[in-house]
C-alpha cells in the first residue's frame, strides 16, 4: 500500500499542476477535484489497511533494496540532467513535462523486475509512451497540449492504478479477515 500511496500523491500532483490551458476552467477544476478525491480515497484505503493489518517483522519485502536505490539515483540524474539538456537545446518549456513522464515511466519499468511485481510495468509503459508523445508534441504547433497529454493523462494513469490496486488489496484483506 505504501507504493500505491506514493503513486496516488504523485498522480494527483501531475493532474493539479498540469491541468491548465488549453482546457477550459470547468474541465480544469473537475480534473483537479477528481484527482484530489482519488488521492484521498487511496489515503483512506492505506489507513484502513494499516489499521487492519499491523506490519509484522520480516513479512514484507524490502522495497528499498540496492536495486531500488540504483534506479532512483539513475532517475534523479536523468530527470535533472535531461531538463538541463532540454533547456540548453532551446526546447520549449512544455517539453519538460514530457521528459518527466518518460523518465518516471521508465523508472516503473526498471523497478518491475527488482520488486518482482510486473503489474507496475503496465503504468510504466503507458507513462513512457505519454512522455514520448509529449516530447514529440513539444516540437509541433500542438505544444499547448503537452501538459494535458504527458501531465494530466500520466496523473490519471497513476491515480487509476493506485485506486484499482488499493481497492483490490483492501477487498482481499477484508475477505481474508472474514
Span 34-88, pLDDT tens digits: 999 999 999 999 898 877 665 555 555 667 789 999 999 999 999 999 999 999 9
Q: How far is CA 54 from CA 19, 42, 85, 167, in A?
A: 37, 18, 45, 18
Mean pLDDT, rounded, for 124-150: 97
Give residue for cell 504523485.
10
**Average of per-residue pLDDT across 119-132:** 96
Q: Which of 14, 15, 48 is nearest to 31 (CA)?
A: 15
* Among candidate residues 106, 49, 32, the one with its CA nearest the CA of residue 74: 106
Average pLDDT, the chain: 91
Query: Is the pLDDT confidence value at 29 over 70?
Result: yes
CA angle 168, 155, 23 (to 5 degrees): 135
Nearest to 127 by CA among 97, 102, 98, 95: 102
Q: Which of 54-58, 81-85, 133-137, 145-149 has the lowest mean pLDDT?
A: 54-58
Amino acid at each position: 500500500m505504501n507504493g500505491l500511496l506514493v503513486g496516488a500523491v504523485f498522480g494527483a500532483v501531475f493532474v493539479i499542476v498540469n491541468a491548465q490551458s488549453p482546457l477550459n476552467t470547468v474541465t480544469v477544476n473537475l480534473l483537479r477535484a477528481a484527482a484530489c478525491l482519488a488521492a484521498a480515497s487511496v489515503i483512506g484505503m492505506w489507513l484502513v489497511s494499516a489499521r487492519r493489518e499491523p506490519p509484522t517483522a520480516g513479512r514484507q519485502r524490502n522495497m528499498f533494496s540496492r536495486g531500488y536505490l540504483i534506479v532512483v539515483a539513475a532517475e534523479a540524474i536523468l530527470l535533472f540532467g535531461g531538463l538541463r539538456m532540454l533547456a540548453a537545446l532551446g526546447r520549449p518549456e512544455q517539453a519538460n513535462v514530457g521528459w518527466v513522464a518518460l523518465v518516471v515511466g521508465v523508472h516503473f519499468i526498471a523497478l518491475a523486475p527488482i520488486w518482482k511485481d510486473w503489474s507496475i510495468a503496465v503504468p510504466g509503459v503507458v507513462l513512457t509512451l505519454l512522455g514520448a508523445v509529449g516530447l514529440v508534441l513539444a516540437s509541433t504547433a500542438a505544444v499547448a497540449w503537452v501538459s494535458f497529454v504527458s501531465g494530466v493523462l500520466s496523473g490519471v494513469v497513476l491515480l487509476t492504478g493506485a485506486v484499482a490496486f488499493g481497492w483490490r488489496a483492501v477487498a482481499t484483506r477484508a475477505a481474508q479477515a472474514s
